[in-house]
């Protein structure tokens, strides 16, 4: 029995007024986690689109084998990818989306099936995303955050300039307890490098939008304490959780350091590429940046 068949497809009720649910995932070379993600989406959605950013590891073949429609696009950021996924899906009452390293357990899938039968009306619904760490054989729940992942079709609108952290506008979004299981971190070095890249991408967009600076030095300790104490990571993961929180929190200090550098004329090629809508080039430039270690000040090159 395959994983896709094990979770079961949602019944396809018919009848006037029945709510139609579309689903999608954006992926690159994510074959190791993609199957569970697609199985979860297929279990509750009427149709699923896998938006491929030109992967080379067999992810496209896996998606097609599971009966999911695969659409390939060059990587121009999350906003452009989500827009392309929505265009591929077409018109649905609600849209449910997961990241390629996320999945749902059977209890959460059942909650979503019941939600579909409840005639939902809110613009969006927030689900708890449980960030799991897997560090040298030590698996623990790092934190839980609520994310809007079920969105009415007409409200699920992204723009290409939303290159990263593409949050939708604030809207009424009740909580729905259907936990999303997220493979958040498998190495400290890999997580920190990802946070650094995201910080620079955020800063480029924030600069274009005229965002104000915040004191960069205060951001890292504040968010470290939030994750360790308020979210309880320290009690569940001990010293590994503290190390991970230090790696993760670099995002919050680095994004304002990078924004400060941009305001002083730094990263001119990045600023120009973003202003001209050359988002593929933005990602290539960020990937090529020699970003500082966590103890260093960002370069303004």
pLDDT in tens, 10-26: 444 443 357 899 999 99
Global pTM reads 0.89
Q: Alpha carbon of 208 to those of 62, 81, 175: distances in Å?
A: 39, 20, 33
- The CATH 3.90.550.10 portion of the chain extends over 3-185
pLDDT of 148 over the 50 cut? yes
pLDDT of 185 over the 70 cut? yes
The mean pLDDT of 57-71, rounded to a whole number, is: 93
Q: Sort 186 into a burial class: Cβ within 10 Å, 0-12 / 13-18 / 19+.
A: middle
Q: How many CB atoms lie within 10 A of CB 154?
A: 9
Give the pLDDT confidence of 71-100 residue by residue, as tens digits.
Answer: 999 999 999 999 999 999 999 999 999 999
pLDDT of 162 over the 70 cut? yes
Q: How many CB atoms lie within 10 A of CB 111?
A: 17
The mean pLDDT of 152-160, rounded to a whole number, is: 91
pLDDT of 172 over the 70 cut? yes
Whether 67 and 7 have beta carbons less than 8 Å apart is answered as no
pLDDT of 274 over the 90 cut? yes
SS3 (DSSP) at 103? strand
Judged by average pLDDT, the poorest of 101-110, 209-218, 262-271, 281-290 is 281-290
pLDDT of 3 over the 70 cut? no
pLDDT of 283 over the 80 cut? yes
More confident of the two residues 10 and 247: 247
Q: Does domain 3-185 have CATH number 1.25.40.10?
A: no
């Amino acid at each position: 029995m395959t994983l896709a068949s094990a979770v079961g497809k949602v019944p396809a009720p018919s009848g006037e007024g029945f709510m139609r649910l579309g689903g999608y995932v954006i992926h690159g070379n994510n074959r190791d986690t993609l199957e569970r993600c697609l199985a979860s989406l297929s279990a509750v959605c009427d149709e699923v689109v896998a938006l491929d950013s030109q992967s080379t590891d067999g992810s496209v073949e896996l998606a097609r084998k599971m009966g999911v429609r695969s659409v390939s696009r060059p990587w121009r950021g999350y906003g452009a990818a989500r827009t392309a996924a929505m265009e591929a899906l077409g018109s649905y009452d609600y849209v449910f989306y997961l990241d390629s390293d996320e999945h749902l357990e059977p209890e959460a899938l059942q909650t979503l099936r019941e939600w579909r039968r409840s005639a939902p009306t809110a613009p969006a619904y927030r689900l708890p995303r449980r960030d799991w760490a897997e560090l040298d054989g030590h698996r623990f729940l790092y934190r839980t955050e609520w994310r809007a992942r079920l969105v009415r079709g007409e409200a699920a609108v992204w723009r290409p300039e939303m290159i990263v952290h593409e949050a939708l506008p604030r809207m009424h979004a009740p909580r729905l307890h259907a936990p999303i299981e997220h493979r958040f971190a498998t190495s400290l070095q890999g997580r920190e490098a990802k946070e650094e890249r995201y910080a620079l991408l955020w800063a480029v967009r924030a600069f274009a939008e005229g965002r104000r600076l915040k004191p960069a030095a205060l951001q890292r300790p504040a968010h470290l304490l939030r994750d360790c104490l308020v979210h309880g990571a320290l009690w569940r993961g001990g010293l590994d959780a503290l190390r991970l929180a230090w790696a993760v929190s670099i995002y919050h200090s680095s994004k304002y350091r990078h924004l400060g550098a941009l305001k002083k004329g730094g990263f001119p090629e990045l600023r120009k590429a973003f202003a001209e809508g050359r988002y593929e080039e933005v990602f290539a430039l960020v990937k090529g940046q020699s970003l500082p270690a966590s103890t260093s000040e960002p370069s303004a090159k």
